[in-house]
Amino acid sequence: MKAVLQRASSASVVVDGAQVGAIGAGFVLLLCVEQQDSEDECNFLARKCSELRIFADQDGKMNLSLIDVKGSVLLISQFTLAADWKKGRRPGFTGAASPAEGKRLYEYFGKVMEDLGINVQYGVFGAHMDVSLTNDGPVTLMLDYRSNAN
């Protein structure tokens, strides 16, 4: 499981000309479910994202978590994070989970975050989406469960 987390002061997602999700302060989370992923990875990564101290405290230091600031999440499915780009010029995406499993775990991930008390807004799984955000900082983290799970 991979995610790109972008701290945002606001963000929205539009599908077919209609806004389907929007947040104020919080983060945009681009989530890639890979073939070997399960609920275990979702549970770990959702909790980790909610607890990462990437928001400024009163002294301007990154000491507060999403839960601390009562921030929201705009959750966007992003299978392209599974790209194999090392050979040739066209990336391959065979490492991504099947669409059915990807959607199931994407929705499960969002539910885990909701159960942690976080307001989660969603993109539309598998749709072409226009995502807009005001990246705050900018603060952007690349989270790869396989390389940093220990």
Q: Which of 6, 27, 55, 79 is catalytic?
A: 79
Instruction: State the catalytic residue, choosing from 6, 27, 55, 78.
Output: 78
46 near 95, Cβ under 8 Å? Answer: no
Higher local confidence (pLDDT), 109 or 148: 109
Average pLDDT, the chain: 95
Angle subtended at Cα 149 by Cα 71 and Cα 68, rounded to the nearest 5 degrees:
20
134 belongs to the catalytic site: no
Active site residue 78: yes
pLDDT band with cut points at 50, 70 and 90 for residue 150: very low
At residue 112, the 3 state secondary structure works out as helix
Convert the pLDDT of each residue in 53-77 to its tens digit. Answer: 999 999 999 999 999 999 999 999 9
**For residue 148, pLDDT beyond 80:** no
Examine the residue annotation and report whether 80 is marked as an active-site residue of this protein.
yes
Closest to 93 measured CA to CA, from 114, 116, 77, 115? 77
Catalytic residue among 19, 35, 36, 80: 80
Reported as a single tens digit per residue, the pLDDT across 6-15 is 999 999 999 9
| Angle CA 143–5–111, to nearest 5 | 90
Domains of the chain by start residue, with CATH: 2-148 (3.50.80.10)
Q: Please check the confidence at residue 35 and state whether its pLDDT lies above 50.
A: yes
Specify the pairing of strand 2-15 against strand 18-23: antiparallel
Look at residue 149 and tell me whether its pLDDT is greater than 60: no
